Amino acid sequence: MVVAALGPRGEEPTAQIPAVPATTRHDAERGPTRQIDDRNPVRRPDRGPGAAGPRAARPNAPTPALDTTALMGAVPRLPARDDEPTAAGPAAGPPRQPRRGERVVQLRPEQTDEGYRSVYSELTRPTVWSRLRTGVRVSGELLITFGLVVLLFAGYEVWGKSAIVGAHQSDLSQQLEQSWGPQGDPTVAPSATPAPRTTPSPPVNGKPIAGLYIPSLDKNWVVVEGVTQKDIRYAPGHYPKSAMPGELGNFSVAGHRNRATFWRLDELDDGDAIVVETKERWYVYRVSQSRIVKPSQVEVVAPVPGRPGAKPTERMLTLTTCNPKFDNYERLIIHAKMERSQDKSAGRPAELGG
């Protein structure tokens, strides 16, 4: 029902519409909104050019914070936590105390006399313990590297050098056989007319001259001429001024103390056989003496060992090498006397299983 009433001061009557309770609309996705009167809508004022949004805010009315990134429209933001910093600054209250084992570092740069100190200076500043740990780590790496180098060197001395010397010994053996020429069939009787004898040419340094066998050590080598480092690098070498195999005097041979050459020479005992092979004959020597001397005692390779200048009366063999193993401040000397010789046509000596 509509009731007409006169306004104050004779104004035109206005229609009074009974007030209808406002209804509350609720959207499950948008949340609660302001109350709207369906029968008496509120007239919205025109927005001016300076309006900030689609709807002008009423004065003195709180506006909830909305999240405009929602998929289904604007929704209220979640309340901020106490320990979460806001636009106005960090949360009120005392700062959190560091836990045990944590280190608090000032992240803001600090001004000093030399300028601003780096933000990470506290984290990167070395300490006594950090320097100690670095020193221990570097020392450990150096020791490990040194150990690997030593192991590689030992492996080379044991296996690498032996393989290299063995390969060169095989080549020297072929060269020695070629220099001797064919020996013929030992079962065929020699011709009644002897072959003319020729004077052997002097040996050349580095060239093979004889074979050397030590049955007790199960070792054999090709002996070359000369005792320089180049000559005896892969084979025992004959002292140039000493006697040749089987001659009156002292047939002297030097060799390195490595596993491929005279490594086990100290295992020889008195009476052990040492056999020397030449183009036409075998010479069997027996060990008579072993001793250790200084490197300066060169009289051990004299025609009469230990007596330089004396006239020889025996056929001797002398082997020399470094002592002790892996060093060279001494010399190991093996002396042997010739026991017998035999022609190659008679076969190999019994000491070699002939």
What positions carry a catalytic annotation?
Answer: 256, 322
| Cβ atoms 319, 334 nearer than 8 A | yes
Query: DSSP code of 158?
Result: I
Of 313, 269, 305, residue with least CA distance to 287: 269
Of 255, 273, 270, residue with least CA distance to 319: 255
327 by DSSP, 3-state: which? coil
Of 211, 222, 214, residue with least CA distance to 172: 222
DSSP conformation letters of 300-316: GGSSSTT-TTPPP-SEE
Of 260, 250, 349, 263, residue with least CA distance to 306: 250
The C-alpha atoms of residue 330 and residue 88 are separated, in whole angstroms, by: 89
The C-alpha atoms of residue 83 and residue 66 are separated, in whole angstroms, by: 21
DSSP conformation letters of 239-302: -TTSPPTTSSEEEEEE---STTTTTTGGG--TT-EEEEE-SSEEEEEEEEEEEEE-TT-GGGGS
The total number of residues shown for the chain amounts to: 354
319 by DSSP, 3-state: which? strand
Structure tokens given for 273: 């056989």
